[in-house]
Structures are given as structure tokens and as C-alpha cells.
Amino acid sequence: MDARRSRTPLVLGIVGAVACLALVLLLIISVTVGILVYRGGEEGASRPAGPVESSPVESGPVSTGSATEGPSAEADPSSDAPEEGGIRADELVLPPGVAPDQPYLELSTSEDGPVVDVFRDFLCPPCKDFQRIQGDDLIQLALDNEITLRVHPRPMLDATSDPPGYSSRAAHAAVCAYAQNPEKWFPAEITLFENQPGNEGLPDHELIYLVNEAAGLDISACQAEGAYHVWLQDVVEPAALKSVSGTPSVLIDGELFTGDLGRSGTLKEAVAAA
């Protein structure tokens, strides 16, 4: 009994020492955290209180005076182009050989043959039928330079795909092929119509694969950069809306072809009679 009483002060002393040590450690931790929070607050005060946003770009027609040709065209150092380089989302970049206000790609030139303007959308089912029925004749007439062929790749059905924008992306992929080699437009458009999706569209990697396989070109960088989207939206489509009511549509020397596009040979006959 006396031995137990003699150990009691020792136990109490140890407990007290541990409590004091814990209190000292807690005090040190509190002071350290306070210093860190204070320093962090000073550093935070020197930075903007949120994401840095660029100045909004005014909407409206793109000025053709600032157009550049091809995705590798040199940027104007006085422009508001991104510091890291590349194409601005609002910048009008023209396919090679295309004038600033030109809403079409000219695939062939004939000195005495008619001018044939073809308006199509890569998501338009009747346009796929047009390619199947009239495409071979049209391509052959162009390759033989019997016509001046102008194609208008419309993004008319952008809003109908889910997600929106497939018409523009498919047209852009074909324009990327044209930009590398104008003759590669034909295999690009053929494969895009042959593999026409429903309203769900195709992702960019599938568009790139299809065009690469059909045309033997690597359009991946061009498609990712998206340089020609402004041209499609702000030049091609507005001009098409003024010229025709839908797709597919064909003008021969400026006159709307009203024959049967669903019957083989009708377009070739109309060209011969022009």
C-alpha cells in the first residue's frame, strides 16, 4: 500500500510533463500555420482574384482586308494573335489560291466550257445521293477541263447534328485535303459521303482517318488547327444563302439547274447543251 502511494507523485509528474510538451508542440504548430497563412495572403493579394480573361471580340463580318492564306501564313505582329502563336478563332484564313471574297474552291478551269457551281453539305442525305449518281460525270468533266468546276462546301446543317457543328468539321477536313493538293478534294469528298453518318456525326479523329486513307494525306494538324472554319462560316455560307435555297444545288453559268439530279446523266447532258 505504501509502495503504491510512493509511485503516485511520479505518475502525476510524468502525465504533467507530457501535457506540457503537447501544449508546447501545439503552440509551435499554431504559430507556424499562422505565418504561412499570412504570407500566402500577401502573395495572393498581388495576383488577380480569378482567371485572366481576354478582351471580348466584337461579333460581325470578318474583314477581308486582314485575310491570310493558309494556316502557316505569317501573322501581323500588330494584331491580337495569341502570344504562343497559332490562329485566332476570329481570323479569316483562306485556302491556297482563294481570294478574300471567294466563297468556293475552283477545282478545274475551262477556257470555253461552262462554269458549274455545286453546293453541298456533307451531312445532307440527298447530297450523298447526288455524289453517287452524278459524281463520276462531274469529276470526269473537271479532269478533262470541259467545265470550270466550283464547289461550295456548305456548313448549312451544323445545327442539326448532335453535337452541333459536324457539317463544318467535315467540310474543313475536305478543305484541308484541298489545301495540300487540290486534286485530293475528289477522294476526300467521295469518302466523306460514302461514310456519311447520321445526325450524331463523326469525331475529328475519324474524319482525319477517312481523309488520310482516301487521299494519302496527313490532315491531322490542319484539322486540329481549324484554320478554315471562319472562311466556311463567314464567306461560304452567307454567299450560298444568297444564291440557292438548299443542297444539293447546281448552277450552270449562273442559272439554277432544274433537271432531275436523281437520274444519271442529266447533269452531263445539261453541261453539253450549255
Q: Quick one: pLDDT band at residue 67, thresholds 50, 70, 90?
A: low
66 secondary structure, DSSP code: G
Q: Quick one: pLDDT band at residue 90, thresholds 50, 70, 90?
A: confident
Higher-pLDDT residue of 44, 117: 117
Which tens digit of pLDDT belongs to each residue from 255-265? Answer: 999 999 999 99
Q: Which three cell numbers stand for residue 40?
A: 500566402
Please give the Cα distance from 105 to 175 (Å, whole number).
9
Average pLDDT, the chain: 80
Q: Which three cell numbers stand for residue 216?
A: 494519302
- Decide: residue 70, CB within 10 A, 0-12 exposed, 13-18 middle, 19+ buried: middle
Q: What is the pLDDT of residue 14?
A: 56
Greatest pairwise CA separation for the chain in angstroms = 130
Decide if pLDDT at 216 tops 60.
yes
- In this structure, are residues 261 and 248 in contact, taking their beta carbons and an 8 Å threshold? yes
Q: What's the rounded mean pLDDT across residues 223-238?
A: 97
At position 28, the amino acid (one-letter code) is: I
Q: What's the rounded mean pLDDT across residues 83-105?
A: 85
Give the list of residues 6+ apart from residue 12 with CB closer than 8 angstroms, or none: none
Question: What number of other Cβ atoms are within 10 A of residue 31's Cβ?
Answer: 10
Residue 234, phi then psi, degrees to nearest 5: -105, -10
Which tens digit of pLDDT belongs to each residue from 158-215? Answer: 999 999 999 999 999 999 999 999 999 999 999 999 999 999 999 999 999 999 999 9
Q: What is the pLDDT of residue 69?
A: 66
Neighbour-count burial for 238-251, b at 16+ CB within 10 Å, e otherwise: ebbeeebeebbbbb
Residue 76, phi then psi, degrees to nearest 5: -70, 120
Q: What is the pLDDT of residue 165?
A: 97
Decide if pLDDT at 55 tops 50.
no
Decide if pLDDT at 54 tops 90.
no
Please give the Cα distance from 134 to 197 (Å, whole number).
20
- State the pTM of this model: 0.71
Please give the Cα distance from 78 to 59 (Å, whole number).
20
